[in-house]
Amino acid sequence: MALVKVDNLSRTFVTRGAETRVFSDVSFELETGELLLITGRSGAGKSTLLGILSGLDRASGGRVFFQDVELTALPLNELADLRAGRIGMIFQNFNLIPTWTASENVEAVLMHQGISKADRQARAAALLTDLGLGERLHHLPSELSVGQQQRVAVARTLVNEPVLILADEPTGDVDSETAAEITSLLMPRIRSGKTAMIVASHGLFDASLATRVACLKDGRLVMA
Amino acid sequence: MPDILESALRELKRHKWQTVAGVAGYFLACGFMVAMVLMLRHDLQAKNATVNYMGNKFLAYAPMTIADPASSPDIRPLDPLNEGFFAEPNVSTSLLPLAMAAQIARIVEVDAVTPFLLYRLKNSQDGHIFSVGGVKPADRHALRGTLINPDDVINGVFFRSEDRNVVLVDKSYADLWNLKVGSVVNIGGTLFPVIGVLSSQARVTRADVYMNWPDAEAALSRRLTGPVRDLANIFLVETSGAETTASAMQKVQQLMQQGLTRSVICSLPAVKFLGLSQNTLKLVLLLLAVLVLLISMNSQWSSVAARRHEIAILKAIGWKTPVIFGQIVAESFLVASAGGLSGALAGFGVFRLLVWQLGATFNAAYLAINAPLVILIIMLLTVLAGVAAALLPAWRAATTRPADVLRSSC
């Protein structure tokens, strides 16, 4: 059973009556322990594809299965449950909440899930400490370096131990040293076989880390 | 739910100046409303009490006209130049059937009615003019507010229905002619001992001397061309309230149409003004409530717009639509509650200060029941307005599409 199965997925935007096809006939499967790197130029539809896989966006056609559950047919609240529990997301520009501390940004994922405040705080603190931010728990994102901010974003993704990580240009805005640091945080989880990851990048991610590489070009996903 | 409140509280603390501004807005609105409503309600109640005291009483009579054939032609004063039935100083009246009292009593708005015989009389000894009033002491309820009652007695005693050949005198008349309890008054050649001196307060009419009904009928009959039997020249009417007086007067006038009746009341403009004031108060409060609602909504809308990116992130990491909606509403609820509670207390303080400044007095019941009730109602309305104002912005926040927001922010 594939962790993710994408079947003839397509996405079309309609703007002022004009249809713009982003991609179509996208199909692939992903197993746990795999890292699929999707490359392509800016505007090729990589982020849109990740948006559909995470349930943030809706497909125009085709189906997505996650652990045999058809994501494309799930209501919004159940998709939110999946994102809160089994699917983690890393955004290109971190998307940390600027007025929340590092710890609160990580805890946010655990809120409204019946987890006590003390437990939430303990889990966030433990993970951030593991990632070398034990002294920065109560710092705002603006008080952290870019690398530290990205580590907080990674911690937010990992705190729920997701089985699928969707990363949109995770190393896009950071220097090579920080990029290496981020990948070093994520790769052990993938290699342990507990997690799969799909990375969308236009070339800044180290392709040698990927188990498979696909290119989104002219609206088609081509496996390398 | 506790998570939502916790998140809401945390957000309010994070945006503390915005929160302070929001609380201050509700504080001012609620405080102003409480102080204003308490003062105006008190003012209206005071006016209402005054108007109700006089405004629910009137006298009905049929003015006598020369061309009026129905004006008891058989019963005329022996001395028409100096004597006669009257209602007001320059208004002579006709006699009406006593049975009309029962007809008036059947009018829904009428609370009580009693007949009255008011006659201007010339003293046979020194020729001074004075007025005699015939009353039915058994109609105690109707007499109490319209004419005289036992509480008005400052010397002696009040009538009993079975008392005969005795009179009560008004204090001003007693002072003028040095009358005391035990003095006698000459009415139509008969001497009546004074059993009480009255000091009646503001009433719809008055007489110098009051007699029991049968005595008045007998004494006045001696000054007329015919006997007064089952007739009255005035009906003293009390209605259920100042607001119903106009309607009651209209119905009494319809009832008395044959005699060209007139009803007299001085407080109708006051009643109308009171209604106007009450309506103005309601309109001002409604306007204020709408303004509070719109301003709160605008504030919440701006807050949600400013946090759109943050809300999109929360949705992206798994926060559900009802949680986002609940949090925005909870934030508004907390701000409105804090502002409403503190504003209501401050408004009450301002009210007390104004009361102290004006030297006004309030009864304990008003302060113990009315004021807390007003405060509670306004506070609840403020909180409700806060919640209502948050619904649309909360819906906007809850329906934020994270994919759109996060994509556009990249």
Which residues span the domain enclosing B305? 2-51+272-409
Question: Phi-psi bin for B367: left (phi > 0), alpha (psi -120 to 50), beta?
Answer: alpha
Coil vs helix vs strand at A189: helix
Distance, in angstroms, between B12 CA and closest chain A CA? 11
H or E segment and range at residue A80: helix A76-85
Say whether both B92 and B232 belong to one domain. yes
Say whether both B380 and B310 belong to one domain. yes
A139 with A167: CB under 8 angstroms?
no
pLDDT of amino acid B284: 79
In a domain, B351, yes or no: yes
In a domain, B256, yes or no: no
Say whether both B219 and B331 belong to one domain. no
Closest in B316, B322, B401 to A83, CB measured: B316
Say whether both B288 and B233 belong to one domain. no
Indicate the range of A126-135, A202-211, B282-291, B400-409 predicted with least confidence: B400-409
pLDDT of amino acid B292: 81
Closest in B310, B315, B406 to A80, CB measured: B315
- Whether the per-residue pLDDT at B342 is higher than 90: the answer is yes
Say whether both B298 and B181 belong to one domain. no
Say whether both B277 and B203 belong to one domain. no
Question: Across residues B368-379, what is the average pLDDT?
Answer: 83
In a domain, B103, yes or no: yes
Nearest to B198 by CA among B133, B276, B250: B133
In a domain, B261, yes or no: no
Q: Count of domains in chain B?
A: 2
pLDDT of amino acid B272: 60
Closest in A47, A76, A112 to B410, CB measured: A47
B147 with B203: CB under 8 angstroms?
yes
Closest in A51, A81, A99 to B318, CB measured: A81
Question: Across residues B116-132, what is the average pLDDT?
Answer: 92
Q: Give bridge partners of residue A192 from the DSSP assignment.
A: none
Q: Give bridge partners of residue B120 from the DSSP assignment.
A: B84, B131
Question: Across residues B146-166, what is the average pLDDT?
Answer: 90
Q: Which residue has the higher pLDDT, B145 or A210?
A: A210
A195 with A165: CB under 8 angstroms?
yes
pLDDT digits (tens, 9 = 90+) for B46-100: 766 666 666 778 888 888 765 554 455 678 898 988 999 998 877 888 888 999 9
Backbone CA torsion sign across B200, B204, B208, B211: negative
SS (H, E, C) chain B: CHHHHHHHHHHHHHCHHHHHHHHHHHHHHHHHHHHHHHHHHHHHHHHHHHHHHHHCEEEEECECCCCCCCCCCCCCECCCCCCEEEEECCEEECCEECCHHHHHHCCCCEEEEEEEEEEEEECCCCCCEEEEEEECCCCHHHHHHHCCCHHHEEEECCCCCCCCCCEEEEHHHHHHCCCCCCCEEEECCEEEEEEEEECCCCCCCCCCEEEEHHHHHHHHHCCECCCCCCEECEEEEEECCHHHHHHHHHHHHHHCHHHCCEEECCCHHHHHHHHHHHHHHHHHHHHHHHHHHHHHHHHHHHHHHHCHHHHHHHHHCCCCHHHHHHHHHHHHHHHHHHHHHHHHHHHHHHHHHHHHHHCCCCCHHHHHHHHHHHHHHHHHHHHHHHHHHHHHHHHHHHCCCHHHHHHHHC
Residues A139, A7: Cα–Cα separation, whole Å: 43
Residues B169, B187: Cα–Cα separation, whole Å: 12
Q: What is the mean pLDDT of chain B?
A: 84
Q: Which residues of B touch A83 (CB under 8 A)?
A: 316-318
Q: Which residues of A touch B406 (CB under 8 A)?
A: 56, 91, 95
Residue B213 makes CB contacts below 8 A (sequence gap 6+) with B115, B117, B134, B135, B136
Indicate the range of B49-58, B136-145, B179-188, B208-217 predicted with least confidence: B49-58
pLDDT tier, B297 (very low <50, low <70, confident <90, very high otherwise): confident
pLDDT of amino acid B359: 74
| Below-50 pLDDT ranges, chain A | none
Question: Across residues B149-178, what is the average pLDDT?
Answer: 92
Q: How far is CA A146 from CA A99, A172, B234, B283, in A?
A: 16, 11, 97, 57
Question: Across residues B247-269, what is the average pLDDT?
Answer: 67
* Contact criterion met (CB < 8 Å) for A51 and B409: no
- Whether the per-residue pLDDT at B407 is higher than 80: the answer is no
Closest in A97, A104, A168 to B313, CB measured: A97
Question: Across residues B382-401, what is the average pLDDT?
Answer: 87
Say whether both B9 and B97 belong to one domain. no
DSSP summary character for residue A100: S
pLDDT of amino acid A102: 94
H or E segment and range at residue A118: helix A117-130
pLDDT digits (tens, 9 = 90+) for A58-93: 889 999 999 988 988 888 888 888 888 899 988 877
Say whether both B302 and B229 belong to one domain. no
B40 with B353: CB under 8 angstroms?
no
Say whether both B277 and B393 belong to one domain. yes
Q: Which residues of A touch B313 (CB under 8 A)?
A: 95-97
Distance, in angstroms, between B320 CA and closest chain A CA? 6
Q: Which residues of A touch B3 (CB under 8 A)?
A: 111-112
- Whether the per-residue pLDDT at B173 is higher than 90: the answer is yes
Residue of A nearest to B401 (CA): A56
Q: Which residues of A touch B316 (CB under 8 A)?
A: 54, 56, 83, 89, 91, 95
Residues B230, B97: Cα–Cα separation, whole Å: 6
Question: Across residues B179-185, what is the average pLDDT?
Answer: 94
Say whether both B63 and B197 belong to one domain. yes
Residues B70, B370: Cα–Cα separation, whole Å: 53
In a domain, B266, yes or no: no
* Contact criterion met (CB < 8 Å) for B314 and A83: no
Size of interface A-B (CB pairs under 8 A): 74
Residues B219, B367: Cα–Cα separation, whole Å: 53
* Contact criterion met (CB < 8 Å) for B410 and A92: yes
Say whether both B37 and B155 belong to one domain. no
- Whether the per-residue pLDDT at B35 is higher than 50: the answer is yes
H or E segment and range at residue A198: strand A196-200
A168 with A47: CB under 8 angstroms?
yes
Residue B262 makes CB contacts below 8 A (sequence gap 6+) with B60, B61, B62, B63, B91, B253
Residue of A nearest to B409 (CA): A93
Q: Which of A15, A42, A112, A121 to mutate to test the interface with B (most CBs of B within 10 A)?
A: A112
pLDDT of amino acid A194: 86
Residues B8, B307: Cα–Cα separation, whole Å: 13
B216 with B245: CB under 8 angstroms?
no
Has domain A4-223 been given CATH number 3.40.50.300?
A: yes
Residues A14, A20: Cα–Cα separation, whole Å: 6
| Percent of the residues in chain B that have a pLDDT greater than 70, as a whole number | 86
- Whether the per-residue pLDDT at B277 is higher than 80: the answer is no
In a domain, B267, yes or no: no
B216 with B117: CB under 8 angstroms?
yes
pLDDT of amino acid B117: 95
pLDDT tier, B410 (very low <50, low <70, confident <90, very high otherwise): very low
In a domain, B248, yes or no: no
Q: What does residue B107 show for φ and ψ, rounded to 5 degrees?
A: -70, 130
Say whether both B174 and B62 belong to one domain. yes
pTM above 0.80, yes or no: no
B302 with B21: CB under 8 angstroms?
no
Coil vs helix vs strand at A52: helix
In a domain, B214, yes or no: yes
